[in-house]
Amino acid sequence: MTILFAAEGWDPAPWIQAFEKHGEGRRAVMSVGQEFDPASIHYAAVWKPRPGLLASLPNLRAIFNLGAGVDALLADTTLPDVPIIRIVNPDLTVRMTEWVVLQALFHLRQMPAYQAQQARREWRQLAQPAAREVRVGLMGYGVLGRDSAEVLQRLGFDVAVWARRPQPEADCPVFVGKDALPAFLARTDMLVVLLPLTPETRGILDRTLFERLARDGVLGGPVLINAGRGLLQVEADILAALESGLLAGASLDVFETEPLPATSPLWTHPKIVITPHVAADSTPEGLVGGILADIARFERGETLPNEVDRQSGY
């Protein structure tokens, strides 16, 4: 049984090593720089593979997307009709929660202002609101969103979520559906976005949405924290909102164009924190064992829990 590893732009060596270490008797093959017979490939572990690559593998049984988001993969219109499994793994979840909490605390504890003061050698103590005074609104209450919401709550933040369907298990207020979006935004000081990119969510973070955020919060204006996907956001609207005071700050891990072009005004905006799409990295040691266990389950005829619904796009 042969697995094809195809993740353009990633160093394949640690992945191949991890597949070899964890997958006794299995053979991992690189797509780039290595000759292989397309008919020999049964499984593919991929991240943004070249469009058409997967369609060229006649004996492919399943595709493992090496990330949680599948928007890039589904953009390949030639994808073969085999199950697509996305990553759901504690390693990735914890990494995302770390990033979200880091950004939430960064804005709560006024780090952008203190960094500016430090650059001026200015010693000035600013008023410090408590986490419980900050209303966090979370869009994207899935695997990652749930964990972030839980940890933010544990830190004391006043968390509510926006979801498509009722969430009876949720331990916080849930605003359900498009009709409830205005009320959700009206009580949000810090908007945390962990939505997938779909035709429904594309461009959702625009001026109209920013205008609906709470204006009476303790942070001096609403803050946007987005690690979902760059195309959820309209960057020109974020910049305009920061200029006009509609937004007080933003932390962005994802961008309309990645890498973020050097010419983007986002880079130098004093109210924006930028990270280069690293909120939750996929790592070989964190993920390969789980993929191989899933392959074993699949071979035994069991259904896999994290199969992507092509219809909904995530």
Of the candidate residues 60, 63, 68, 232, the single one contacting ligand OXD (CB under 6 A): 68
* Among ligand OXD, ligand NDP, none, residue 291 binds (CB under 5-8 Å by kind): none
- Residues 95, 277, 300, 310: which is the catalytic one? 277
Is 140 near ligand OXD (CB under 6 A)? Answer: no
CB of 314 to ligand NDP, least distance (A): 5
**Residue 99 or 157 with smaller CB distance to ligand OXD:** 99
CA gap 68, 222 in Å, rounded? 27
Is 69 near ligand OXD (CB under 6 A)? Answer: yes
CB of 308 to ligand NDP, least distance (A): 9
Residues 275 to 294: which contact ligand OXD by CB under 6 A?
280, 282
**Residue 246 or 280 with smaller CB distance to ligand OXD:** 280
**Residue 110 or 226 with smaller CB distance to ligand OXD:** 226
Q: Which residue is nearest to ligand OXD (CB)?
A: 67
**Residue 95 or 135 with smaller CB distance to ligand OXD:** 95
- Residues 121, 165, 229, 297: which is the catalytic one? 229
CB of 69 to ligand NDP, least distance (A): 3
Torsion of CA 205, 243, 245, 137, to 10 degrees: 20
Is 230 near ligand OXD (CB under 6 A)? Answer: no
Q: Which residue is nearest to ligand NDP (CB)?
A: 142
Provide the residue type at 70 as one letter: V
Residues of this chain that bind ligand NDP (CB under 6 A): 67-69, 96, 140-145, 163-165, 194-198, 200-201, 227-229, 253-254, 277, 279-280, 314
Of the candidate residues 12, 49, 67, 286, the single one contacting ligand OXD (CB under 6 A): 67
SS3 per-residue string spanning the chain: CEEEEEECCCCHHHHHHHHHHHCCCCEEEECCCCCCCHHHCCEEEEECCCCCCHHHCCCCCEEEECCCCCHHHHCCCCCCCCCEECCCCHHHHHHHHHHHHHHHHHHHCCHHHHHHHHHCCCCCCCCCCCHHHCEEEEECCCHHHHHHHHHHHHCCCEEEEEECCCCCCCCCCEEECHHHHHHHHHCCCEEEECCCCCCCCCCCECHHHHHCCCCCCCCCCCEEEECCCHHHECHHHHHHHHHHCCCCEEEECCCCCCCCCCCCCCCCCCCEEECCCCCCCCCHHHHHHHHHHHHHHHHCCCCCCCECCCCCCC
CA gap 300, 265 in Å, rounded? 52
Q: Is 229 a catalytic residue?
A: yes
Stretch that binds ligand OXD, among 25-33, 62-70, 131-139, 151-159 (CB under 6 A): 62-70
134 closest CA partner among 201, 225, 195, 203: 225
CB of 203 to ligand NDP, least distance (A): 12
**Residue 4 or 70 with smaller CB distance to ligand OXD:** 70
Q: Is 202 a catalytic residue?
A: no
Question: Could you list the residues that contact ligand OXD (CB under 6 A)?
Answer: 67-69, 280, 282
Q: Which residues are catalytic?
A: 229, 277
